[in-house]
Structure 1
Amino acid sequence: MVFVTKFRHKVFTDRHLTRMEAIMRDVCADFEAELVQFNGEDNHVHLLVNFPPKVAVARLVNSLKGVSSRRLRQEFPDLARHYYRANKLWSGSYFAGSAGGAPLNAVQQYIEQQNRPG
């Protein structure tokens, strides 16, 4: 899955991404899913999630984006300036693809190689 920030604003530093990974891991656990790999850059994040077929992708995405946006806003008041339109951190869109055919380690390596900000 890939989520981008509203208007592709450059928002995240390493400390934001570190906290976001923990938040998203907890959300995945609530859905009986596993966050296998996480990384991001200053304006988007990549997630490799293993989840059961009973979980609707849209519900999982909605929860991941909603909970992370709310918690980051509470814990990092400095992010408030990025919420200026409609109080949203994330763009309304997302990318979700199936990795069943690709070797899992190739997907994990791609995510690891993101240019994470300092």
Structure 2
Amino acid sequence: MKQIKSSSHGVYRLSYHLMLVTKYRRKSINIAMLENLRGILTDLCEKWGCVLLEFSGEADHVHMLFDTPPTVEPVKFVNNLKTVSSRLSRRDHAEHLAQFYRKPVLWTASYAIFTTGGAPLEVIKQYIIGQRRPSE
């Protein structure tokens, strides 16, 4: 069973699957960059109070699975991940990325983020429908 976390006023388990794509879908990520990105994203997750559960990618995109507390706004977190990882990757791999981009870019403006969880939505809907309603 997935570990449920708690705060002073509630319990939660918020997991997200995030996909970031390189600008123009160029195959600019090599193995050294991928490993560097893992470290950058792990550090950023810790700074935001999140936990990186899984990370991998291909030459033109990366996937990450992470847990976050309810106090973290996903859009702000993702924008910070993209900004910092792009800046640090361009700093650490400038010569390599110059082959693909003239301007200081790495990620496209878009991203994909999905919530993850244990039970399918239909199972949760049936559970809620099946609750005993109070009698009059």
> What TM-score bracket applies, with the shorter chain setting the length?
0.7 to 0.9
Classify the secondary structure of the residue corresponding to 1:15: helix
Name the structure 1 match of 2:99: 81
Q: How much does 1:53 deviate?
A: 1.1
Segments of 5+ residues of structure 2 without an aligned counterpart are: 1-17, 121-136
1:43 to 38, 54, 60: 60
Q: How much does 1:100 deviate?
A: 1.2
Q: How much does 1:101 deviate?
A: 3.5
Amino acid at match of 1:16: M
Classify the secondary structure of the residue corresponding to 2:29: coil
Determine which structure has the larger helix proportion and give its number: 1
Question: When the two structures are superposed, what TM-score results if normalisation uses the length of structure 2?
Answer: 0.71
Q: How many residues align?
A: 102
Q: Distance in 2 between matches of 1:21 and 1:38?
A: 7
Name the structure 2 match of 1:9: 26
Deviation track 1:74-95 (CA, whole Å, cap 9, x = no partner) reads 111221333324x221000000
Determine which structure has the larger strand proportion and give its number: 2
Q: Distance in 2 between matches of 1:94 and 1:72?
A: 18
Q: How much does 1:102 deviate?
A: 5.8
Segments of 5+ residues of structure 1 without an aligned counterpart are: 104-118
Q: Distance in 1 between matches of 2:87 and 2:74?
A: 20
> In the TM superposition, what are the counterparts of 1:1-118 in structure 2 within 5 Å?
1-77=18-94, 78-85=96-103, 87-101=104-118
Q: Distance in 2 between matches of 1:45 and 1:6?
A: 12
Displacement over 4 Å in runs of 4+:
none
Amino acid at match of 1:49: F
Q: Percent identity?
A: 39
Q: Distance in 2 between matches of 1:9 and 1:44?
A: 9
Higher RCO (CA-CA < 8 Å; seq separation 6+): 1
